[in-house]
Amino acid sequence: MYDPTVARLTYRALLGRRRAAILFVLPVLLVAIAVAVRAFAGADDDVASGVLGGFAIATMVPLIGVIAGTGAIGPEIDDGSIVYLLAKPVKRPTIIFTKLIVAIGVTMLFSAVPTMLAGFILNGNGGQIAVAYTIAALVASIAYSALFLLLGTVSRHAVVFGLVYALVWEALFGSLVPGARTLSVQQWSLSVAEKVAGEGLVTSDVGLPLATVLLVGVTVVATWYAGQKLRALKLAGEE
Amino acid sequence: MTTIEIDHTSRWFGNVVAVNDVSMTVGPGVTGLLGPNGAGKSTLINMMAGFLAPSTGKVTLDGKQIWRNEAVYRAIGIVPEREGMYDFLTGREFVVANAELHGLDAAAAGRALATVEMEYAQDRKIATYSKGMRQRVKMASALVHDPSVLLLDEPFNGMDPRQRMQLMELLRRMGAEGRTVLFSSHILEEVEQLASHIEVVVAGRHAASGDFRRIRRLMTDRPHRYTVRSSDDRALAAALIADPSTAGIEVDTTEGALLIQAVDFGRFTALLPQVARAHGIRLLTVSPSDESLESVFSYLVAA
């Protein structure tokens, strides 16, 4: 199921592009915000929760998920270099699964690690906030990667759609339409964080059982479907 | 012995028919897939390479369906036309990755790089390569697993004459070794120099198939039109029409030129300067007026 050569090509392509700069910029920004907030406001559980929930989980994790998830396959399909993977006796679902693992790894590295760091800077993990949001970031990394990898496989405008989902659906609709929150990776991951953090510090609109089912379901279905789409990927038609 | 069989295959994109009911068999040796740009060559190659499903019909490799069958890639090596190829890797890293994807080691990659004579630049990034070098590294990536079938889409595009000769030599060798080598081209001379067997496609249809000499003759024996300007058009016209190689001559007084229709291409091109010299006429312009590839091919389709 996992091919180390595909993995090597994927992470080198992912980290070698200019787009990868965003992977570094966002975590640095988060840590900078954490330092500034701590310096001006001191250690406060609610403020810490606000920064981690409002910026780290709501903005940074999905954005990094978009870059890593779509970037793990989209550019290769765009420039045609995916041919060198497809013209091999390697099962197409193996290619997808491997790319998913790489995308998850990259998303976790660039979102969960800085979230943890920022949490400790903000209030020294008071009320388990740093750990809770880090777990949320880890969980969200998996679902986002699967979702955006699928998007990268089926669409040439994956980054745009990914940004629309991450910013418009999750951030805007999520805050305006309560129902939309049920269908939000962010809320599912927060429901996991809710269990870890101190009373009332993290809230989610989705119960943990439902969130778990949806997280696992979305990840599995998106990955399976991406594998099917890659099996039927047509590389031509531009004559 | 590996054979690709295309059986009553069509492929359309929306309303556009790219390949129209084509049947052909590609066997060992070098086969040239010839046709003007947009004729459907790439679509055919993509179906043979398993990158495109036929809309109708079957494309098989030794009887096994190619589409959605990853196992066929053990036997097929592909040199795509597109340039995208992990530019951030060195040539060696790229070919080694291709070898690994076939379950082979770096030694296989080394052999393939030696075959295409790219060892000298294998540690440079692909981004720094010239067009010809990229083409050779693509070749190496297609050869790592010693495939019995090699498919190349417009492999000579953008290559300089020396690189072209090297690649031709390599493909000739592959064909002589009994591999099934198929390459596409829109340039007759390329195909003629390399392929013993030619398949011609025009506007999605299979226009001709067979030995290149026969096809070449079909192409050259058609009536040719020339526009000729000289120091004495009427005297030249009178002298030329006496020869059976010329079917008709029109004196275009507004343009000040002769429009000549020649039926025997070889004889006419030898005759024209001789006649001019014998009559003391200077030739100012001799230009074929319908030499575009499309007109050559459309003649072939009609034949």
User: CA separation (Å) from A218 to A58, A171, A221, A223, A225?
Assistant: 18, 19, 5, 8, 10
- Listed residues B157, B183, B217: the one ending a domain: B217
Same domain? For B147 and B68 the reply is yes
A84 touches chain B (CB under 8 A): yes
Residue where a domain stops, chosen among B217, B251, B284:
B217
Give tens-digit pLDDT for B182-206: 999 888 778 878 888 889 888 888 8
Does B198 lie in the same domain as B234?
no
- Is B84 in CB contact (< 8 Å) with chain A? yes
Digits of tens for pLDDT over chain A (239 positions)?
899 999 999 999 998 877 788 889 999 999 999 999 999 988 888 889 999 998 999 899 999 999 999 999 998 998 889 999 999 999 999 999 999 999 999 999 999 999 999 999 998 888 889 999 999 999 999 999 999 999 999 988 888 998 888 878 877 777 778 777 888 899 999 999 988 887 778 888 888 999 999 999 999 999 999 999 998 887 654 43
End-to-end CA distance of chain B: 33
Query: Do B290 and B203 belong to one domain?
Result: no
pLDDT score at A205: 83
Nearest to B228 by CA among B241, B219, B216: B241
For strands B56-61 and B4-13, give the pairing.
antiparallel
B239 and B207 fall within a common domain: no
Put simply, the answer to whether B70 touches A84 (Cβ < 8 Å) is: no
What's the rounded Cα separation, in Å, for the pair A39 and A21?
27
The verdict on B72 and B201 lying in the same domain is: yes
Same domain for B108 and B132, yes or no, is yes
Same domain, B232 and B105: no
CATH code assigned at B275: 3.30.70.100
List CB contacts (< 8 A) between B50 and chain A.
86-87
The boundaries of the domain holding residue B245 are: 221-302
Q: Which of A4, A80, A86 sits opposite B82 (nearest CB)?
A: A80
Residues B189 and B243 in one domain: no
Residues B172 and B289 in one domain: no
Which of B184, B217, B250 is a domain's end point? B217
Whether B259 has its CB under 8 Å from any CB of chain A: the answer is no
Q: Work out how many CB contacts closer than 8 A connect A with B.
A: 90
A74 min Cα distance to partner chain B (Å): 13
Does residue B35 belong to the interface with chain A, where contact is any CB pair within 8 Å?
Answer: no
Contact A158, A73 (CB under 8 A): no
B76 and B159 assigned to the same domain? yes
Which residues on B lie below 8 Å from A85 (Cβ)? Answer: 101
Same domain for B40 and B177? yes
**Which CATH number does the domain housing residue B15 bear?**
3.40.50.300
Name the percent of chain B lying above pLDDT 90.
Answer: 50
> Roughly what angle, to the nearest 10 degrees, separates helices A61-71 and A92-123?
160
pLDDT tens, residue by residue, A170-192? 777 777 787 778 888 999 999 99
**A231 vs B contacts (CB less than 8 Å):** 68
Same-domain pairing of B156 and B228: no
Interface confidence (ipTM) of the complex: 0.89
Q: Tell me, yes or no, if B86 comes closer than 8 A to chain A by beta carbon.
A: yes
Going along chain B, which residue ranges are E strands?
Answer: 4-13, 16-26, 29-34, 56-61, 64-65, 76-79, 149-152, 180-185, 197-202, 205-211, 224-230, 246-252, 257-262, 283-288
Pairing verdict, β B29-34 and B197-202: parallel
Number of structural domains found in chain B: 2
